[in-house]
Structure 1
Amino acid sequence: MVEEATGGRANTLSPCDCVLISTKCFQEHIHQIIWRSLLLGVTQGFGTTVCFWGSENYRSLGWYISVMSFFHFSEFVVTSVIRPKNLSSESFLLNHSKAYGIAALTSWIEYLVELWLFPGLKNIFWLSGVGLFLCLGGEVFRKTAMLTAFHNFDHLIRTRREEHHQLVTSGIYSLCRHPSYVGWFYWSIGTQVILCNPLCAVAYTIASWKFFFERVFEEEMTLLHFFGHEYVAYQSQVPTGLPLIHGYNMY
């Protein structure tokens, strides 16, 4: 609570009043960043609590909540380092798309229904451990890619080449052409393996593959336009890193 002396009396401000004041005091986009950060911080704390102090039956749920919260917050933090001028509430990727939100909601419904009908299915800890490994590996892979590309990285496909825009082929980009997508692909599948969601694990694999197939194809058309033969040579030497996805080939 916040108290303010006025006319000899103390006025107490409720949390709602504080939110209203923050909205007025800060620009709207700053306010949007603040509440998203608070939400992710509280969610991360809850996930950690479930992991270490909750019932063993819900340990995998704690892992899931933690990796989800960390992924979205770390997207914002890394973007603040590599492209601070482009930083906004969208950098959290919380509202990535309607399809992303529907997929998340569907996975929660499957988890709760199966927890009720088949509780033993949610206690296969070695399988949840495999999912956690996929999520952590995917997270490291994606953030390494973002930091390696630095200001060349963007959450959106660019349609116009900027003056400082260069083709990055070193570091993790020498292993695959789209390491940030590779990391996100396996991270998304790993979230469902953590929850031991068999239906969503299959659905996420198919949906993620389809999304990145189209995304890589579209992005490589732009990259070939930007870098021409330099990108063609890079294509011939380095794979996309995604299973059965070869990208756009102009020949």
Structure 2
Amino acid sequence: MAAARLLLEGRVSLLSFMLGLSVLLLPLVPGLEPLLGGTTGRLALAIYIAGLNGLLLLLYRALLYQVAVRACFLGFAFGCGLLISFSQSHWKHFGWYICSLSFFHYSEYLITAITNPKSLSLDSFLLNHSLEYTLAAISSWLEFTIENFVYPEMKRITWLAAIGLVMVLIGESLRKAAMLTAGSNFNHIVQNEKSNTHILVTSGVYSWFRHPSYVGWFYWSIGTQVLLCNPICIVGYAAASWRFFRERIEEEEFTLIHFFGEQYLDYKRRVPTGLPFIKGFKVEP
């Protein structure tokens, strides 16, 4: 019964994401496209958002509504990002960024619903990851906005933004491959107790790196700032992400050694973490 309910949440999230993505249809409305950048267009957009929320309130209640409204918002953001990306606006690269950010958060929820429904919750969207994560995102938006006005040429280095986009796509793909490979063994929260079904995954992308989901997230996060051509945040994100994953990996590996003993130690000796200058939990000889 619980598994069926959680699978329902996954289906609701997908339908709601697609509903939010329908914002792509607005420019097709006769007479509306030339107005989208003005007051009338903003009013139409506000009415559209209110209509989406009203529809979700009619369709869903309680937890399902909470799932639906988050997924719909991320779909809406992804759609807006696409519209900006294909425009001639100076914010074109920011549109790429919006697509990258919204897809990352939605796919975290969807893949969890598919591979490990027992651990699925609203937190699986990672929208409330941490205060530091939120501040980092806001800082990148501020840097892009300020530099776009002060030195707009910096934000139009397409080849650099393209490198960032490639980093984002590779990082995202690696993380999702890790989640799919690990299946029910993957969890957004470091586990302190070993379940009966918990096994050590060493195949697929786990044969390349001990922590492929962290490697993917690390390069995805830096890639978002390369994409935005944000020199300050490139350095800041690299330093903050490296420190976060170093501490996270040490904590996780301490637990994994406790769970799997010599099996994990042998795996640790054979396969690197995948992150630069991070060796993982140090084991006394």
TM-score, normalised to structure 1, is 0.90
Query: Which residue among 200, 212, 236 is the counterpart of 1:203?
Result: 236
Is 1:228 matched with 2:258?
no
**1:19: how far off?**
7.2
Provide the residue aligned with 2:134 in structure 1. 101
How many residues get paired?
A: 235
The answer for the alignment partner of 2:76 in structure 1 is 42
Superposition map of 1:64-75 within 5 A: 64-75=97-108
Q: CA separation in 2, counterparts of 1:49 and 1:18?
A: 24
Corresponding position: 1:18 with 2:54: yes
Q: 1:81 & 1:17 partners in 2: Cα distance?
A: 26
1:237 corresponding residue in structure 2:
270
- 1:188 counterpart residue number: 221
Q: Is the 8 A contact 1:48 1:63 kept in 2?
A: yes
> Which letter maps to 1:78?
I
**CA offsets, 1:85-121, max 9 Å, x none?**
2211111111100100000000000000000100000
Distance 1:34 1:21, change over 3 A: closer
Equivalent in 21, 32, 39 of residue 66 of structure 2: 32
1:149 matched to 2:179? The reply is no
What is the identity, as a one-letter code, of the residue corresponding to 1:158? Q
Q: Deviations over 1:68-101 (max 9, x none)?
A: 1111111111001111122111111111001000
- 1:178-197 per-position Cα deviation (integer Å, ceiling 9, x unaligned): 00000000000000000000
For residues 34-64 of structure 1, what are the alpha-carbon distances to aligned partners after superposition, in whole Å with 9 as ceiling and x for unaligned? Answer: 1111110110000011111x11522211110
Aligned to 2:112: 79
Partner of 2:35: none
Partner of 1:3: none
**1:167 lines up with 2:203 in the alignment:** no
- Where does residue 9 of structure 1 map in the other structure? none
In structure 2, distance between residues paired with 1:236 and 1:245: 13
Matched-pair identity in %? 49
Most deviating of 80-89 and 164-173: 80-89
**CA distance in structure 1 between the aligned counterparts of 2:167 and 2:57, rounded to whole angstroms:** 42
* Selected match of 1:110 from 128, 143, 152: 143
From 124, 136, 147, the equivalent of 2:157 is 124
Summarize the Cα distance change of 1:222–1:17 in structure 2 as closer, same or farther, 3 Å threshold.
Answer: closer
Give 5+ residue unaligned stretches, structure 2.
Answer: 1-49
Report the 3-state secondary structure (helix = DSSP H, G, I; strand = E; otherwise coil) of the residue aligned with 2:191: coil
2:93 to 60, 65, 69: 60
Q: Are 1:131 and 1:191, in contact at CA under 8 Å, matched by a contact in 2?
A: yes
Please give the secondary structure, in 2, of the residue aligned with 1:104. Answer: helix
Deviation at 1:30, TM superposition (A): 1.9
Question: Matches of 2:112 and 2:220 in 1, distance apart?
Answer: 18
Q: Which amino acid letter does the alignment assign opposite residue 26 of structure 1?
A: R
- Alignment deviations for residues 160-194 of structure 1 (CA, whole Å, 9 cap, x no partner): 00000000011110111000000000000000000
Deviates more, 1:162-171 or 1:80-89: 80-89
Deviation per CA, 1:8-54, whole angstroms, max 9, x where unpaired? xxxxxx7499379559x622x222211111110110000011111x1
SS in 1 for 2:91: helix
RMSD between aligned alpha carbons? 1.7
Distance 1:78 1:17 in 2: 24
Return the alpha-carbon distance in structure 1 between the equivalents of residues 99 and 56 of structure 2.
Answer: 29
Assess if the C-alpha contact under 8 Å between 1:22 and 1:31 holds in 2: no
Distance 2:76 2:52 in 1: 17
Unmatched 5+ stretches in structure 1: 1-13
